[in-house]
Amino acid sequence: MTTQQEKRVILDVRDLCVHFAVNARKKWFWQPPQSLRAVDGVTFRLYEGETLGIVGESGCGKSTLARAIIGLVKATSGQICWLGQDLCHIHQDGWRHVRNDIQMIFQDPLASLNPRMTVGEIIAEPLRTYRDDLSRQVIDERVKNMMQKVGLLPNQINRYPHEFSGGQCQRIGIARALILRPKLIICDEPVSALDVSIQAQVVNLLRQLQKEMQLSLIFIAHDLSVVKHISDRVLVMYLGHAVELATDDALFGNPLHPYTQALMSAVPIPDPDKERGKRIQLLEGELPSPINPPTGCVFCTRCPIASETCVKTRPLLEGNFTHAVSCLKVDPLQG
């Protein structure tokens, strides 16, 4: 049986930084230039057929990381290697080939669809853009087949997005992302705007399609329960940094980083007795600004076990494939 580590690495992100200038038009000439460090040195690998969940509170850099991978925002430094090709230095024309392999599903299903286009036109748009060798008849046939795959009726092909529910609109977005048969789908909080029952349907659909089409997924979400259900490994982000990276079982069974432990303590437990008896770890202090982050560990201002060393020294993400953590107080191999 092939283990995850023996599979091919399709995406290798190394020390990726995405910084945005915040005072390009300075009021006074002596003001130093400032930048917002949305992503600040994130490193991870994605394996063929794997689902990598990315979690963290709002503003931690999850969506910016996703957009940098697909080229919607420019990386400040670092490397994004897709099948051995560095996407940070690729020419714009080269993205036409890469986007055949990497597609994205967005958070707001209705806002991501053009209201003036029919469902058939929306799903067919990537084929018309990247596969001009296909006839209209072939495109229509592929669109109808894809609609069936995602749970839509082919006779709905001429309807408009406003005629569908939120869950159906997200299925349209999934069909559009899959129509080119990519190798990687980046899901940017695809179920956060949906009802709980619809969330489960969409997540199960993604798992089914992943198995059928041999996809790799990057799944971004706030809900740790959803991430646990779909992910093979999970990357926890805080203030633009990766603070913990572990397999599903290792992270949820034994979270090592104090920030991850606080996130886990807030997850509801279905058992009422256990829910009443659990202890929620509240984080004290204010979230630091990504314009002026702490000099040492980015979590030291809110960490219950921080020391003087944590204030001065920035920890690296260290460990192995099963469990890696960025904390001076925790040994991932003994956790």
Q: What is the pLDDT of residues 23-40, one digit of tens each?
A: 756 566 666 678 899 999
Intervals of the chain under pLDDT 70? 1-6, 24-32, 271, 274-275, 334-335
Give residue 222's pLDDT.
86
Strand pairing report for 233-238 and 241-247: antiparallel
Q: What is the helix (H) or strand (E) element at residue 188, kind and residue range?
A: strand 184-188
Residue 123 lies in a domain: yes
The C-alpha R_g of the chain, in whole angstroms, comes to 21
Strand partners, 53: 219, 234
Strand partners, 325: 244, 318
Give residue 266's pLDDT.
79
Dihedral angle sign, alpha carbons of residues 275, 278, 284, 290: negative
Give residue 30's pLDDT.
61
Query: Can you tell me the distance from the alpha carbon of 299 to that of 265, in angstroms, rounded to the nearest whole number?
Result: 17
CB 13 within 8 A of CB 180: no
- Residue 162's domain spans which residues? 102-181
**Three-state secondary structure call for residue 36:** strand
Strand pairing report for 216-220 and 35-47: unpaired
Residue 166 lies in a domain: yes
Query: Can you tell me the distance from the alpha carbon of 207 to that of 293, in angstroms, rounded to the nearest whole number?
Result: 37
Residue 170 lies in a domain: yes
pTM value?
Answer: 0.90
Helix axes 166-178, 136-149, angle to 10 degrees: 130
Q: Is 241 exposed, middle or buried (0-12, 13-18, 19+ CB in 10 A)?
A: buried
Give residue 34's pLDDT.
83
Residue 226 is classified by DSSP as H
Residue 39 lies in a domain: no
Give residue 1's pLDDT.
36
Residue 77 lies in a domain: no
In Å, what is the CA distance from 97 to each residue of 92, 135, 182?
10, 20, 11
In Å, what is the CA distance from 47 to each residue of 13, 130, 270?
12, 26, 32
CB 259 within 8 A of CB 329: no
Q: Which amino acid is at 87?
A: L
* Maximum alpha-carbon separation in the chain: 68
Residue 176 lies in a domain: yes
Strand pairing report for 233-238 and 51-55: parallel
Residue 226 lies in a domain: no
Give residue 28's pLDDT.
63
Tell me how many domains the chain contains.
1
Helix axes 166-178, 196-213, angle to 10 degrees: 20
Query: Can you tell me the distance from the alpha carbon of 260 to that of 288, in angstroms, rounded to the nearest whole number?
Result: 17
Query: Can you tell me the distance from the alpha carbon of 316 to that of 318, in angstroms, rounded to the nearest whole number?
Result: 6
Residues 6 or more apart in contact with residue 275 via CB below 8 angstroms: 268, 269
Q: Rounded to 5 degrees, what angle do the CA atoms 239, 241, 247 make?
A: 120
Compute CA 152 distance to the chain's CA centroid, rounded to the nearest angstrom. 25
Q: Which amino acid is at 40?
A: D
Residue 144 lies in a domain: yes
